[in-house]
């Protein structure tokens, strides 16, 4: 059942406040209106488009990142708590997929997860010492990958970070990254990657 404009806009505002990364298409489906109606509602309410909302959050978060510059992060960080957890999103576009199948190349999913594992480390230098990776489903062009990093443990000179990546509610990738940290007592770095 459609709501009147005032009620819809009030609920739209609440929805975007609670889920700032919801797309216009998802909102249109939720409120049973056209994407154009959602865009007009957002304009009237002075709510920026999704890309601007992401940029705004990412710029605030990047003040905290120590281990790499913004240009080296694959995807866009939308939440960051150093040495605890982080979340990034990556919209899969034509340049990320095999042209014949529309399936995302695995190295993009790995790069998103790996750069998030680096970004979550509260240190000037963080390098991947080891990783184990599991690709659990193919990702297609047009899908959005949400990667969630969780620091599992901190050892003498390493931090273990687990990253799970999702499309919607479905996990598409899992990685365990052992990260070398510079400010802790030294050790050897290997570049093993097991698939």
pTM (global) more than 0.75: no
Flag whether pLDDT at 186 surpasses 50: no
pLDDT tens digit sequence for 143-157? 999 999 999 998 878
Query: Domain 5-47 has what CATH class?
Result: mainly alpha
Tell me what pLDDT residue 194 has.
41
Classify 160 as helix, strand or coil: strand
Cα separation, 43 vs 79, whole angstroms = 26
Please determine, for residue 192, whether its predicted confidence score (pLDDT) is greater than 70.
no
Give the pLDDT mean for 162-187.
84
Q: What is the per-residue pLDDT across 48-106, written as a single tens digit (0 to 9) for each?
A: 787 676 666 655 555 566 656 666 788 888 888 888 998 999 999 999 999 999 999 99
Look at the block and give the residue holding tokens 């708590």.
81
Is the pLDDT score of 190 beyond 50?
Answer: no
Q: Which CATH superfamily groups domain 61-194?
A: Hotdog Thioesterase (3.10.129.10)
Provide the mean pLDDT of the chain. 84
Q: Where in the chain is the domain with CATH 3.10.129.10?
A: 61-194
Residue at token pair 């049973």? 32
Closest CA to 108 of 85, 127, 89: 89
> How far lies 147's CA from each of 8, 35, 89, 166, 169, in Å?
31, 26, 6, 6, 12
In percent, the amount of the chain with pLDDT more than 90 equals 45
Closest by Cα among 93, 90, 133 to 110: 133
Delimiting residues of CATH 1.10.10.10 domain(s) in the chain: 5-47
Q: How far apart are CA 112 and CA 8, in angstroms?
A: 36
């Amino acid at each position: 059942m459609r709501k009147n404009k005032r009620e819809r806009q009030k609920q739209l505002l609440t929805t975007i406040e609670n889920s700032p990364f919801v797309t216009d298409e998802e909102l249109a489906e939720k409120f049973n209106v056209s994407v154009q109606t959602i865009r007009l509602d957002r304009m009237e309410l002075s709510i920026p488009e999704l890309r601007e909302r992401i940029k705004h959050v990412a710029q605030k978060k990047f003040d905290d990142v120590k281990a790499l510059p913004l240009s080296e992060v694959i995807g866009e960080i939308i939440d960051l708590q150093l040495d605890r957890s982080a979340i990034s999103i990556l919209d899969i576009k034509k340049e990320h997929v095999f042209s014949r199948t529309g399936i995302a190349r695995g190295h993009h999913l790995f790069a998103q997860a790996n750069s998030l594992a680096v970004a979550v480390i509260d240190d000037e230098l963080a390098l991947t010492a080891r990783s184990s990776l599991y690709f659990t489903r193919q990702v297609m062009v047009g899908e959005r990958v949400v990667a969630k990093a969780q620091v599992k443990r901190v050892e003498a000179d390493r931090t273990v970070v687990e990253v799970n990546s999702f499309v919607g509610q479905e996990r598409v990738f899992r990685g365990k990254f052992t990260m070398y940290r510079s400010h802790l007592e030294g050790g050897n770095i290997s570049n093993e990657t097991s698939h």
